[in-house]
Amino acid sequence: MTAETMRASVLVAKGRLRVEEVRVPEPAADQVLVRIASVGVCGSDVHYFQHGRIGDFVLTSPMILGHEAAGTIVAVGSGVPADRIGQRVAIEPQRACRVCEQCRHGRYNLCPSIEFYATPPIDGAFAEYQSIQADYAFPIPDSMSLEAAALCEPLSVGIWSNRKAGTGPGSRILVAGAGPIGVIITQVARAFGAAEVIVSDVAAGRREAALRYGASRVIDPTAQDIATLDLEVDAFIDASGAEPAVRAGVMAVKPAGRIVLVGMGADDVTLPASRIQNRELVLTGVFRYANTWPLAIELAASGRVDLDSMVTSQHGLADVEAALTATTDPRTLKAVVRPGE
C-alpha cells in the first residue's frame, strides 16, 4: 500500500526551493506509479531555478523539477498488468497525444500537446513517487544501476543528436561543448562507429573529460580559431549554445555535411548563410527525442556508453539546491538527486 502523501522538492518561485509534503500521484488506467530512486540534474532544471522560465515556458505556480528519472514500479493503473509491479525502470518523461500529425509520423517529440516532466505546468521527479504512461516506463536489466537508468534521458539526447547528424562508421564529427551532453554525444558518436570525434571547449577540465570519454582530440577555441583549421568534418554538433562556437562549427563542415544545434543559447544568432548555401549544408535543431529508450538502455547496459562514472555527486531532497548549483563547477558531469535520502 503506497502512502497518500510524499516528500518533494518544490520550486515555489524563481530561486526558491522548499521540501513539502504533497499528494502521491494516482496512476491513471494506462499509467504506472514509480518509486523514484535517482534523478539526474539537467541544465533546464538549473535554468528554471535561476530564471523561472525557458523561452515561452514560464513558471506561474509552484512546480517540481527533475526529468532524468528511474525507479521501481510500485502500483499500476486498471489497464496495466499487475505483473509490472516490482520492475526497475527507466522513465521517458513525456506524454504525447498519439493522434496528431506529428505523432502519427513518429515525431511525437514535436506533438503540440506534449506533456513533459518539469516543464510548466507538469510536475517532475524530484519527489518520492511519480506516475508515467506504462509504455514510457522501460524495464532495465538487473546489471544496470538506477543511476545509469536515469541518465538514459540525456543519453537519448545524445542518440537523437547523432541520428540527426547522420553519424555512422567512419564519420568525422566536431562537437562544441564538453559538458554532460557534449560528453554523452561524444560517447554515442563512438558507439555509432565514428572514426574521429573532435571536441572543443573553453575549459581545460572539460576538455580532459572529453578525452577520457572517447574524443580523438580536443581544441581550446580561445587558443585556436576552429574556422581556420580546415577540419572538413562530416557533421558539427553544437552542445554549447554559444554563438561563436556555432559560427566556427559551421565553417568546419565539408560540403553536403550536417549541422545539429543542441545547446540552449540565445533565441536569435547570426549564421554564415552563404557558407550554408554554397556548400549545401543541412541545418537542423534538436527538441528532445523520440523512440530512443530501447537503444539507450542497450548502449548503457552493454558498456558501450559509460553513464555510471559520469555521476560526480549525489544529493537528497533537502539538498536539491546544492545539486543545481553543482552544475556550475566545470568538474561536475552529473549531479544526481536521490529522493529516498
115 in the same domain as 52: yes
Q: What percent of the chain has pLDDT over 90?
A: 95
163 in the same domain as 135: no
252 in the same domain as 143: no
24 in the same domain as 129: yes
Q: Looking at residue 36, which CATH number applies to its domain?
A: 3.90.180.10
Widest pairwise Cα distance in the chain: 64
Q: Looking at residue 265, which CATH number applies to its domain?
A: 3.40.50.720
Q: What is the pTM of this model?
A: 0.96
- For residue range 103-132, list pLDDT tens digits in order: 999 999 999 999 999 999 999 999 999 999
Residue 120 lies in a domain: yes
Range of the domain at 53: 5-151+307-337
- 293-296 contact pairs (CB < 8 A, 24+): 293/90, 293/92, 293/136, 293/138, 293/152, 293/156, 294/138, 295/159, 296/90, 296/152, 296/155, 296/156, 296/159
Residue 142 lies in a domain: yes
125 in the same domain as 18: yes
Smallest Cα–Cα separation from 152: which of 330, 327, 308? 308
Q: How far is CA 333 from CA 143, 181, 289, in A?
A: 22, 9, 21
Query: What's the number of domains the chain is made of?
Result: 2
Residue 105 lies in a domain: yes
CA distance 71 to 92: 12
- For residue range 30-41, list pLDDT tens digits in order: 999 999 999 999
